[in-house]
Amino acid sequence: MLERELKYFNDNKDEYLRIYPNMFVVISDDKFVGSYTTQEQAYEAGIKACGLKPFLLKQVLPDGDNTSVPAYSLGLLTR
């Protein structure tokens, strides 16, 4: 699950590091939903844009420092 979103993030990571360092991005399928200052803002935007469909919420950090918070891991969606 979320393989497409992770691939899209990784394919665009250099650009995100340049434009959105330390911000949180939301990706659904192979579509960039937006960038946000806080995880909470990103999560709310992801729910608004994607509804019950899984999406990737990931902070843009250099390699080794990335954290991802898919909506289903918060217990709000089931597989």
- Does pLDDT of 30 surpass 50? yes
SS3 state at 34 = strand
Domains in the chain, number: 1
Q: How many CB atoms lie within 10 A of CB 14?
A: 9
CA distance 46 to 23: 14
What is the arrangement of strands in the sheet containing 24-28, beginning at the earlier edge strand?
31-36, 24-28, 56-59
Task: Give me the pLDDT at residue 79, please.
Answer: 46
**Does residue 11 belong to any structural domain of this protein?**
yes
**Does residue 59 belong to any structural domain of this protein?**
yes
Predicted confidence (pLDDT) per residue in 31-77, tens digit: 999 999 999 999 999 999 999 899 999 999 998 655 555 555 555 55
Whole-prediction pTM:
0.79
Task: Give me the pLDDT at residue 71, please.
Answer: 58
**Does residue 78 belong to any structural domain of this protein?**
no
Q: How many CB atoms lie within 10 A of CB 8?
A: 19
Domain that holds residue 61: 3-72
**Does residue 77 belong to any structural domain of this protein?**
no
